[in-house]
Amino acid sequence: MVSSHSFKRVMKAVKKVREPGEKPEDDLFSVNKYVCDLCQGVREREEITQCGFCGRWVCRDSCWDDELKACESCAGLIMLAKDKEGD
């Protein structure tokens, strides 16, 4: 779990890439496929998910941390914020 204190710290550290509800990037070469904002891999719509911290659309298989409910990029920042908890 991420405390609200850490959450605020993370929100400050994270650079917003997309707005909530903004659509994922279409793959130019295939219909109904989208590009992961982190690894640039092409995925089906149901295989990508939007990170609530930075707004990136990322693939669930390699760029999503299901435990932290954040993309791998934000997950790193969350872990840092958790380490500093209590100071």
In whole angstroms, what is the distance from residue 82 CA to residue 6 CA? 6
| CB nearer Zn ion, residue 34 or residue 53 | 53
Interaction pattern, residues 36-75, with Zn ion; x per rule: CB under 5 A: x-xx-x---------x-xx-x--x--xx-------x--x-
| CB nearer Zn ion, residue 13 or residue 28 | 13
Residue 8: helix, strand or coil by DSSP?
Answer: helix
Residue 13: helix, strand or coil by DSSP?
Answer: helix
Maximal C-alpha separation, the chain: 49
| Residues 2-31 close enough to bind Zn ion by CB under 5 A | none
Residue 48 CB neighbours (<10 A): 24
Find the shortest distance in angstroms from Cβ 85 to Zn ion. 20
| CB nearer Zn ion, residue 62 or residue 84 | 62
In whole angstroms, what is the distance from residue 53 CA to residue 77 CA? 10
Which residues contact Zn ion by CB under 5 A?
36, 38-39, 41, 51, 53-54, 56, 59, 62-63, 71, 74
